[in-house]
Each structure stands twice: as structure tokens, then as C-alpha cells.
């Protein structure tokens, strides 16, 4: 809204009242329920960078449509909240997108680890509110995962990214509380 509005004011009042009522349900311990703290009263932990967008509005929502071993593809649509220049996705959000979707792919195929580097090359402006297609490839050796991603509008290449991560078996990661919400 560009100016004051009674409906917006009422909505904000309602949200503040609900926030106050929900505040007593928030865990008092800010540590995530992971590892030695899985049985604590800590906060929920979103498991290992897999499909974060379904839980956190700071991450773009996307769909991985096909996962075939070291290749994956899917779609993403960036809402206005990811705007940088007018009508264009901010480059920082494109980096977040690639980190998320590449780690999601790594988790889906069972060898994932912490990102150690990420480079993003901007080829063309990425439009908001447009269904875009992405393609991912990855290679794994004993110590490293190298992922490459490309983002397209139709057949036009918009952005490319390369990520390096430590190769690790998901089963060796710390235990996560079973109370967490499943994606």
C-alpha cells in the first residue's frame, strides 16, 4: 500500500494479537534440536538444506521435477519480494537459489556436505513472476562435490553457477529431532 489504510491497520492489529498469543509456545532455548540437543526444548531445525523454500520465505520456492543420479531439473518462479532492479531478480537471491537447489539435489542422491565455494555468472537479467527452468549436473569424488547449474527462460540462458561442497554421507550427519516438520 502506498498510504494509510484502515484494512491494513486492522490486519496488523490482528497479527500483533496472534503473535502475542503464540509467543508462549516458542521454545525458550534458541539452539536447534540436533545432535546432542535432539531431546531439548530448542527450536525446530530444517533438515540439512533440503527444500528450505517450503519453510522459510527468505528462500525461493522451486520444484525439482526430475532427479536422475547426477542430473536434475526443475522450475522456479521468483515473487516480487526477490526484486532488485525493477522487474528483475536481485543477484544475491540467485546465489541463494543455486546454493539451495544444488544442495537439495545432493541430499536427494545421498552424498551432501557443506558448501565451500559458490560462483554465479549473470548472463541476462532474470525476470520476476515468470516460470523459469533450471538444470543441474554434479560430479563427486572422495572429498568433493562439484555442482553446476543453469537457469533458463525458454531456451535463453540467464544465469550459470558452480558450487563446490565437501562430500559426505547424509547418514553421518548429527541426528535431528523427529519432532521437526517433514517437507
Whole-model pTM? 0.82
Is 111 inside a domain boundary? yes
**The pLDDT value given to residue 57:** 74
Note whether residue 127 is domain-resident: yes
Q: What is the pLDDT of residues 8-33, one digit of tens each?
A: 999 999 999 999 999 988 888 888 88
Domain assignment present for 167? yes
- The burial class, CB within 10 Å (0-12 / 13-18 / 19+), for 43 is middle
Structural domain includes residue 60: yes
CA distance 61 to 47: 16
Number of domains composing the chain: 1
**Looking at the domain assignment, is residue 84 inside a domain?**
yes
> Is 34 within the bounds of a domain?
no
Residue corresponding to grid cell 543477484: 91
Q: Per-residue DSSP letters for 146-174?
A: EEEEEEEETTEEEEEEEEEEE--BGGGSP
Domain of 97, CATH number, reads: 3.10.129.10
Enclosing domain of residue 93: 48-172
User: What stretches in the chain show pLDDT beneath 50?
Assistant: 180-183
- Any domain includes 24: no
Amino acid at each position: 500500500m502506498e498510504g494509510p489504510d484502515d484494512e491494513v491497520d486492522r490486519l496488523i492489529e490482528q497479527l500483533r494479537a496472534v503473535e502475542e498469543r503464540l509467543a508462549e509456545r516458542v521454545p525458550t532455548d534458541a539452539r536447534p534440536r540436533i545432535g546432542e540437543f535432539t531431546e531439548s526444548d530448542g527450536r525446530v531445525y530444517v533438515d540439512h538444506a533440503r527444500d528450505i523454500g517450503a519453510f522459510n520465505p527468505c528462500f525461493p520456492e522451486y520444484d525439482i521435477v526430475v532427479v536422475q543420479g547426477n542430473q536434475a531439473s526443475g522450475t522456479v518462479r521468483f515473487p516480487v519480494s526477490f526484486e532488485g532492479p525493477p522487474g528483475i531478480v536481485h543477484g544475491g537471491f540467485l546465489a541463494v537459489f543455486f546454493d539451495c537447489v544444488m544442495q537439495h539435489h545432493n541430499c536427494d542422491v545421498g552424498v551432501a556436505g557443506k558448501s565451500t565455494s559458490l560462483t554465479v555468472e549473470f548472463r541476462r537479467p532474470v525476470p520476476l513472476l515468470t516460470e523459469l527452468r533450471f538444470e543441474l549436473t554434479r560430479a563427486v569424488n572422495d572429498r568433493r562435490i562439484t555442482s553446476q547449474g543453469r537457469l533458463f527462460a525458454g531456451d535463453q540462458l540467464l544465469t550459470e553457477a558452480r558450487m563446490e561442497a565437501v562430500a559426505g554421507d547424509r547418514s553421518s550427519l548429527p541426528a535431528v529431532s523427529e519432532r521437526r516438520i517433514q517437507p
